[in-house]
Structure 1
Amino acid sequence: MLTVWYNTRCPVCDAGIRRQRRRLIEAVKAGRVEFRDINFEPAALSAFGASLEDIRRRLHAIDAEGRLLVGADVAIAVWRITPGEGWLATLFGNPIARPLTRLAYDRFADLLYAWNRRNGRW
C-alpha cells in the first residue's frame, strides 16, 4: 500500500489530492493507496524524522516496502498507479529527468509553502 500524507489546509494541495483520489477510487477501495491529512496526526512520520512543517511543505508517503518518499518521488509514485497517468511517471521519473523533476517540485513547493504561511493557513 502507498500511504500519502498531505496538508488539507493548503487549498492547492487539497484540490490536487481530491482530484487524484477521484482518479484512484478503485485503488483506494482495494486498499492499494490511502490519502491522510497530516493535520489530524502531526507526529505520524516522526519516526522517519519528518516534522509537521516538513509535510506541510512537501508531500510525504510510505510505500509498500515501508520506505519514506518525499516530494516529487511521491508524485511519481501516485502517477505510476493512476489510470492514464503512468506516462507522467515514465517521463518525469526516469533517471535523466528525475533530478530536474525534484528540483522543479521543490521550488514550487517552497513557493506554495511561503504563500500558505503568508495567508495564515497553519
Structure 2
Amino acid sequence: MSAPLLTVWYNTRCPVCDAGISRQKRRLIEAVKSGHVEFRDINFEPEALSAFGASLEDIRRRLHATDSAGRLLVGADVAVAVWRLTPGEGWLASLFGNPVTLPLTRFAYDRFADLLYAWNRRKGHW
C-alpha cells in the first residue's frame, strides 16, 4: 500500500481534540479504511515527528500532519487539508484556506489552540 495522503497526529488526551478527530474519522470512514488518511495519537509515539523538530508539546498544542510527499503541515493547514478530503467540507477548505483568508485562519486557529492548550494543562489532560 502506498503512503497515506495525510497522516494526522493529535492528542487524544484533549477531550476537544479527541471529539473533533472522532467526528472527522466518521466523516472520512472510507478514506480511513482504505489507508488514504490516518489519524494517530501522539501520546503513543511521542518522538514521531522529531525529525521535523516537532516536540510532543508542539503536537499537543496544535495539530500536525504529514502529507504523501513527506511535508509537515501544522495547525490551520492541517484543518484545511482534512476539509479538502472530507466529503461535503471542501467549501470550508475553499473559504478558510484560500490565499486571502488563510493568514486570518492561521491566526484564529493559533489563538484558539493556545487557549485550549492552557485549559488542558490546567485540567491535567496530559
Give the TM-score, by structure 1 length: 0.99
Aligned residues: 122
Structure 2 match to 1:100: 104
Report 1:29-68 matches (<5 A): 29-68=33-72
Between the aligned residues of both structures, percent identity stands at: 85
Structure 1 match to 2:12: 8
1:28 to 15, 28, 32: 32
Letter in 2 for 1:113: Y
Gaps of 5+ in 1: none
Letter in 1 for 2:19: A
**Structure 1 stretches (4+) deviating beyond 2 angstroms?**
none
Distance (Å, rounded) in 2 between the aligned partners of 1:23 and 1:64 = 20
Distance (Å, rounded) in 2 between the aligned partners of 1:94 and 1:84 = 17
Give the TM-score, by structure 2 length: 0.96
- In the TM superposition, residue 22 of structure 1 has moved relative to its aligned partner by 0.3
The CA RMSD over aligned residues, in Å, is 0.4
- In the TM superposition, residue 3 of structure 1 has moved relative to its aligned partner by 0.2
